[in-house]
């Protein structure tokens, strides 16, 4: 494998002889090794492999128990586990799958079979990672999508409510976007969206959350340790978007501006949907006032409040389930 695509494999095997053989066979991978279950769990705390090769019969913590503990951790449970075992009776193999194993190789293992099964699990893991990324990413801008925004935004909102920390929400809408599509075509409209997404990626820090939430609308959550930080960010975004140079294929410039609504969490803000609705109200206010400007609520001083209860498993917040119609104006 080329160096940039080398997968990581964790081998957990209590026999040093077998471990040495496996490490030689897996020379095309970056291999981590553990002689027992507890050591394997310690390695996982530091680094996540693409695949785990796991012996079943080990002293102390056996492979079944190691697998169960791995699958109990949300950040580990997606790692495929390939059991390597001399226990080939049907109950043992069935139990291996029951505790979360993805596949197994019988000892004494055959080199080509082992490598083929490892390769399949690596490909599966990478395919699943790609699908997960696609599920939470806006394909046009590369920003998180609406579902990701509300999933990641709820913990930020709850922390701010519980601790009384300031938190600002923004709704940003590209002005006259329907007119851009109608006059220049959707390909030019898409380019405007990509360029605005690039501005957000450039100016929004890692501790802040931004996403394209629908049409020409973008949403942000800004933890605000200093008064005025969110307002200054909103104004920088507005300025940068106004200065974008976007041209048609014929070289005609496309004037691009954005209106931004800004709201802060306060005692009356019960849910993340409430906060985003307040920012949306301010966005409409900016539109009515002439566009290409920032409008905001007053920043409140709020005491600690109880966090919002997460929606039941398998459901999304109301805003994620029923998007507001795009402003398009």
CA atoms within 13 A on the CB side of 187: 4
The residue with tokens 């380019």 is 191
Structural contact between residues 9 and 49, judged by C-beta atoms closer than 8 angstroms: yes
Beta carbons within 10 angstroms of residue 198's beta carbon:
15
Local structure of 104: helix, strand or coil: strand
Q: Under 8 Å CB-to-CB from 60, ≥6 apart: which residues?
A: 36, 37, 38
Query: Which H or E run includes 129?
Result: helix 111-135
CA–CA separation, 18 and 22 (whole Å): 6
Could you tell me the sign of the dihedral formed by the alpha carbons of 234, 280, 206, 143, in that order? negative
Any catalytic annotation for residue 216?
Answer: yes
CA–CA separation, 215 and 174 (whole Å): 9
User: How is 208-251 classified by DSSP, letter by letter?
Assistant: SEEEEEETTEEEEEEE-SSTTHHHHHHHHHHHHHHT--EE-TT-
- Phi (first) and psi of residue 264, to 5 degrees: -110, 150
Q: Which of 191, 216, 217, 224 is catalytic?
A: 216
Local structure of 83: helix, strand or coil: strand
Tokens of 298: 């007053």
Residues assigned a catalytic role = 216
């Amino acid at each position: 494998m080329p160096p940039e695509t080398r997968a990581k494999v964790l081998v957990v095997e209590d026999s040093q002889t077998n471990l040495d053989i496996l490490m030689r066979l897996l020379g095309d991978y970056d291999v981590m090794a553990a002689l027992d279950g507890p050591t394997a769990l310690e390695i996982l705390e530091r680094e996540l492999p693409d695949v785990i090769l796991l012996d079943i019969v080990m002293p102390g913590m056996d492979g079944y128990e190691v697998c169960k503990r791995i699958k109990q951790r949300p950040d580990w449970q997606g790692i495929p586990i390939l059991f390597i075992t001399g226990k080939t009776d049907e109950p043992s193999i069935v139990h291996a799958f029951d505790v979360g194993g993805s596949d197994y190789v019988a000892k004494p293992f055959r080199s080509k079979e082992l490598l083929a099964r490892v390769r399949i699990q690596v490909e599966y893991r990478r395919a699943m990672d790609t699908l997960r990324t696609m599920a939470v990413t806006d394909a046009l801008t590369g920003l998180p999508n609406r579902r990701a925004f509300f999933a990641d935004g709820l913990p930020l909102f709850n922390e701010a409510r519980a601790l009384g920390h300031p938190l600002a929400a923004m709704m940003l809408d590209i002005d006259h976007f329907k007119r851009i599509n109608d006059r220049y075509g959707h390909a030019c409209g898409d380019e405007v969206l990509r360029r605005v997404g690039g501005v957000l990626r450039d100016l929004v820090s890692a501790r802040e959350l931004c996403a394209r939430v629908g049409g020409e609308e973008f949403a942000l959550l800004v933890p605000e340790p200093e008064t005025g930080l969110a307002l200054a960010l909103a104004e920088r975004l507005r300025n940068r978007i106004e200065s974008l140079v976007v041209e048609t294929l014929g070289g005609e410039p496309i004037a691009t501006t954005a209106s931004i609504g800004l709201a802060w969490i306060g005692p009356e803000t019960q849910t993340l949907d409430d906060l985003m609705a307040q920012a949306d109200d301010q966005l409409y206010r900016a539109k009515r006032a002439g566009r290409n400007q920032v409008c905001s609520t007053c920043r409140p001083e709020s005491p600690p409040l109880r966090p919002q209860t997460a929606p039941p498993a398998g459901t999304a917040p109301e805003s994620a389930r029923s998007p507001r119609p795009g402003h398009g104006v």
